[in-house]
Amino acid sequence: MAGHVILIGLPGAGKTTVGRQLARRLQLPFVDSDAVIEERLGCSIREFFEREGEEPFRDVEEAVLDELTRGESCVLSTGGGAVLRPANRQRLRARGRVFYLRSTPEELYRRLRHDRTRPLLQVADPLQRLRDLYAVRDSLYRETAHYVIETGRPTVATLVNMILMQLELGDGAPPSVQAQAQAHG
């Protein structure tokens, strides 16, 4: 299986946890775009966000995602807001197999209520914040994704197996790789 496997979804949906195990199973490198961004910035996303604001952060994020999806095949976990820019949505969908790890705001809140590292949730009412994010982003995630995986109750291993099954059924390769294979076949 060649190409990128890209995980999108709200903060706490399991993109990093599922991504790591999926990468191990596919024997591909795992890349967390937020970790790459923090390396570039030389500080946490939260610090950068507070200092510079959201737009400059989204500029860096767009450049990093563009770079990562051009590089060698990997399992790529994206930041929750990666789909906010049309250019990101188009690139992600065109350059890989995109899985939307979908969770309800209530499920996410249960998982994240003690997490202090997520800048967007450092608000008086994090559950309402998650509901607001979901209201804005759910349709963008759906527009970007090739597959929607419900993350409600399944274990990480089950989610990984669900993704692997979809990759096998869908021939696994991103559309561009499939087209090349057909052209050479």
Nearby residues of 54 by Cβ (< 8 Å), 6 or more positions away = none
| Annotated binding-site ranges for ATP | 12-17, 118
Count Cβ atoms below 10 Å from residue 165 Cβ, excluding itself.
11
> Residue 119 has which token pair?
């800048």
| Annotated binding-site ranges for substrate | 34, 58, 80, 137
Contact at 8 Å (CB) between 141 and 99? no
Q: In whole angstroms, how large is the CA radius of gyration of the chain?
A: 16
| Annotated binding-site ranges | 12-17, 34, 58, 80, 118, 137
Lookup result for tokens 């999926």: 22
| Annotated binding-site ranges for Mg(2+) | 16
